Amino acid sequence: MLQSQLFTKTRKEAPKDEITKNAQLLIRGGFVHKEMAGSYSYLPLGRRVLENIERIVRDEMDRIGGQEIRMATLQPSEPWKQTGAWEKVDVIFKINSRTDKEYTIGQSAEEIITPIVQEYVRSYKDLPVAVYQIGQKYRDELRAKSGIMRGREFTMKDMYSFHETQEDFDRFYALAKEAYLRVYKRMGLVAKVTEASGGSFTEKLSYEFMVLTSAGEDVILYCDSCSYCVNADISKQKEGEACTRCTGGNLARATASEVGNIFDLGIKYPKDFGYTYKNKDGEDAYPIMGCFGIGITRLMGVIAEALSDEHGLVWPETVAPYRVHLLSLTPDDLEASSAANLLYDALLDLGVDVLYDDRKGPSAGEKFKDSDLIGIPLCVVVSKKTLVEGKFEVKVRSSGETKILDRDELLSLF
RNA sequence: CGGGGCGUGGUGUAACGGCUAACAUGCCUGGUUUGGGACCAGGUGACUCCGGGUUCGAAUCCCGGCGCCCCGACCA
């Protein structure tokens, strides 16, 4: 991508009403545009980041047998009334057509997926099954906040699984847990599996996946020795007390952001919809159901919060909008600009995603500032200074480490 | 939803109740520059969030609305 053609521009200053780092940096870098409180548009750079996050999530869900679908976002009110959610869940957006028919726009999809699976999965031979989607969710939050981290519209991966037995659910839950932890790790984040309330879903505990960040809205207590972690909301223990799950560990306290969760739904939804399958003995039985969420847009915000520095964003390679930011410092110099053009083409030939700052106006300093702000992992500088020896400067955004390489050395990095 | 704060060119700010609403940045022209948001000159851009009211006179004071942010509550 030629940066001279990129329609978004960076900004020196963030809008004054954005306090959180994720919103400030993402707006300044031209990744997102705010439409209203809790609702953002994703611009070229931001859209590419989201796509990369989605790719990782999709990859891991497919790996544990998830089947991707796409459910309707505009949904009938009836199934929501059937389960009681229409009255009980206050974040549901309710809309009326001009003929006064009631609809909702999806805030979750248990009410949609259960009847779909019911139609096809009728035998124990068809179980277990796990189905997921990645799509927009809409929740009538009383207060949107924290930039893109808590909006009224957001992107979520929601997976639903159906099982014959509790044991089989537990087996799949363990698989999903590992997949979730891989998802976060691949994005450069460290998540903790946290015991939490099941909300209005279930009496049982649920598990939340928490990334430690000061921008988070949850408080967790975690053991400094074992992997035990609990949401402070439901913990009977306090910071500094001894861990009850291991010997020698003490509980530490931290703010964190929830980037995923798992609920054991039991047989609530199959019961509500009269969904039974035939078991081995030919009897009708309710499948046990689980739901598994990952906040895609929130992950983008958490990465922006957790991995940025005073100069701007620092994207991990796996989610970065481009892999290389190629800066042509002296585009008016014929020799330098043709060297940059050749390098750009060579990188494209190798299949490397490159943002090429070929702009003629901005000074060298401005290009460096922009590059730091946008946060692409590798910055390659083409200028007369190093070109006299036939070399290029390569800078790693995260560490600041710099190397002077010739063309072959540079291309061999990819 | 309770409490607090804030609404002025695209963005960030200024302006005692009183002159043509100022400055920076951005954007456009031209020139000069090119290793950390460089410089010079000219230009563009605002019904001061909306609606009422007070006043000779309102960006400024009062009332109502709307919007945004923060704290809390809430959070499938």
Separation between the CA of A53 and the C1’ of B73 (whole angstroms): 33
Round to whole Å and give the CA distance between A114 and A96: 24
Q: Which nucleotide is nearest to A200 (CA to C1')?
A: B76
Question: What was the pLDDT predicted at A353?
Answer: 98
Domain A21-307 = CATH 3.40.50.10540: no
Second-level CATH architecture of A324-411 = 3-Layer(aba) Sandwich (3.40)
pLDDT at A63: 98
Tell me the residue length of chain A. Answer: 414
What single-letter amino acid sits at A167?
A: E
DSSP H helices, A127-264, are: 166-186
CA angle, A15 then A377 then A305, to 5°: 40
Q: How far is the CA of A305 from the C1' of B37 (A)?
A: 23
pLDDT at A215: 86
Question: Which bases of chain B come closer than 7 Å to a protein CB?
Answer: 1-2, 5, 10-13, 25-27, 33-38, 67-76
Please give the nucleotide, over all strands, whose C1' is closest to the CA of residue A336: B34
For A149 and B65, how far is CA from C1' in angstroms?
Answer: 29
Is the N-terminal amide bond of A128 cis, ω within 30° of 0?
yes
3-state SS assignment for residue A159 = strand
**Separation of CA A187 and C1' B42 in angstroms?**
50
Chain mean position to CA A4:
29
| Alpha carbon of residue A224 to chain centroid | 26
Domain coordinates of chain A in residue numbers? Answer: 21-307, 324-411
**How far, CA to CA in Å, does A345 sit from each of A356, A368, A411?**
10, 22, 11
The pLDDT score that the predictor gives to residue A200 is 63
Spatial separation of the C-alpha atoms in residues A163 and A121, rounded to whole Å: 11
- A10/B23 CA-to-C1' distance in Å: 22
CA distance A359 to A10: 13
Nucleotide nearest to A372 (CA to C1'): B36
| Distance between CA atoms of residues A308 and A21, nearest Å | 9
**Distances in whole angstroms, Cα of residue A57 to Cα of each of A16, A34, A42, A133, A134:** 34, 25, 19, 10, 9
Q: Which of A215, A222, A176, A172 is nearest to A196 (CA)?
A: A222
Averages of pLDDT over runs of 10 residues in chain A (414 residues) are 96 93 96 95 98 98 98 96 94 93 95 98 98 97 94 97 97 96 96 85 81 90 94 90 93 93 94 97 97 97 96 98 97 93 97 97 95 98 94 97 96 96
